[in-house]
Chains A and B, each alone.
Chain A
Amino acid sequence: MPPILSITNLAKTYAPRPPRQAAFEALKNVSLDIQRGEIFALLGPNGAGKTTLISIVCGIVTASSGKVTVDGFDNVAQYREARSRIGLVPQELHTDAFESVWKTVSFSRGLWGLPPSPAHIEKVLKDLSLWDKKDNRVMTLSGGMKRRLMIAKALAHEPNILFLDEPTAGVDVELRKDMWNLVRTLRAGGVTVILTTHYIQEAEEMADRVGVMSKGSLILVEEKAVLMQKLGGKQLALHLTSKLDAIPASLSGYKLTLAAGGTDLVYSYDTKGERTGITALLQDVAAAGIRFKDVETKESSLEEIFVSLVREPRP
Chain B
Amino acid sequence: MTAMNVHAVRSIYRFEMSRWFRTVGQSVLSPVISTSLYFIVFGAAIGSLMEDIDGVAYGSFLVPGLVMLMLLTQSVSNASFGIYFPKFTGTIYEILSAPISYLEIVLGYVGGAATKSVLLGFIIMATATLFVPVEIQHPFWMLTFLILTALTFSLLGFIIGIWADGFEKLSLVPTLIITPLTFLGGSFYSIQMLPEPWQTLTLFNPVVYLISGFRWSFYGISDVGVGISFGMTLFFLGLCLAVVARIFATGYRLKS
A residues whose Cβ falls under 8 Å from a Cβ of B: 14-15, 58-62, 79-84, 86, 88, 90, 92, 94-99, 103, 106-115, 153
Return the contact of A83 from the options B18, B91, B99 (Cβ within 8 A): B99
Q: Decide if B100 is an interface residue (CB 8 Å cutoff).
A: yes
Q: Which of chain A's residues have a CB closer than 8 A to the CB of B7?
A: 110-115
Q: Which of chain B's residues have a CB closer than 8 A to the CB of A114?
A: 7
Number of interface residues of B (CB under 8 A): 29
Q: Decide if B93 is an interface residue (CB 8 Å cutoff).
A: yes
Residue of A nearest to B1 (CB): A80
Task: Looking at the assembled complex, report how far the CB atom of A124 sits from the nearest CB atom of chain B, in whole angstroms.
Answer: 15
Q: Which of chain B's residues have a CB closer than 8 A to the CB of A15?
A: 256
Stretch from B8-16, B29-37, B143-151 forming part of the interface with A = B8-16
Q: Which of chain A's residues have a CB closer than 8 A to the CB of B91?
A: 94-96
B93 touches A81 (CB 8 A): no
Q: How far is the CA of A14 from the CA of B251 in the complex (A)?
A: 13
Return the contact of A96 from the options B6, B8, B14, B89 (Cβ within 8 A): B89
B97 touches A60 (CB 8 A): yes
Q: Which of chain A's residues have a CB closer than 8 A to the CB of B98?
A: 83, 111-112
Q: How far is the CA of A139 from the CA of B90 in the complex (A)?
A: 15
- Some 11 contacts from A to B, beta carbons below 8 A apart, are A60-B96, A60-B255, A62-B255, A80-B101, A97-B89, A109-B11, A110-B14, A111-B11, A111-B98, A112-B98, A153-B94
Task: Looking at the assembled complex, report how far the CB atom of B53 sits from the nearest CB atom of chain A, in whole angstroms.
Answer: 45
A83 touches B256 (CB 8 A): no
A95 touches B5 (CB 8 A): no
A111 touches B100 (CB 8 A): yes
Q: Which of chain B's residues have a CB closer than 8 A to the CB of A60?
A: 93, 96-97, 255
Q: Which of chain B's residues have a CB closer than 8 A to the CB of A92?
A: 90
Do A14 and B8 contact each other (CB < 8 Å), given the known contacts A84-B1, A90-B93?
Answer: no
A62 touches B89 (CB 8 A): no
B18 touches A84 (CB 8 A): no
Return the contact of A103 from the options B8, B18, B255, B256 (Cβ within 8 A): B18
Task: Looking at the assembled complex, report how far the CB atom of A182 sits from the nearest CB atom of chain B, in whole angstroms.
Answer: 20
Q: Decide if B95 is an interface residue (CB 8 Å cutoff).
A: yes
Do A62 and B256 contact each other (CB < 8 Å), given the known contacts A96-B89, A107-B15, A111-B11?
Answer: yes
Q: How far is the CA of A60 from the CA of B86 in the complex (A)?
A: 14
Q: Which of chain B's residues have a CB closer than 8 A to the CB of A62?
A: 251, 255-256
Interface residues of B in 11-27 (CB under 8 A from A): 11-12, 14-15, 18-19, 22
Task: Looking at the assembled complex, report how far the CB atom of A79 sits from the nearest CB atom of chain B, in whole angstroms.
Answer: 7
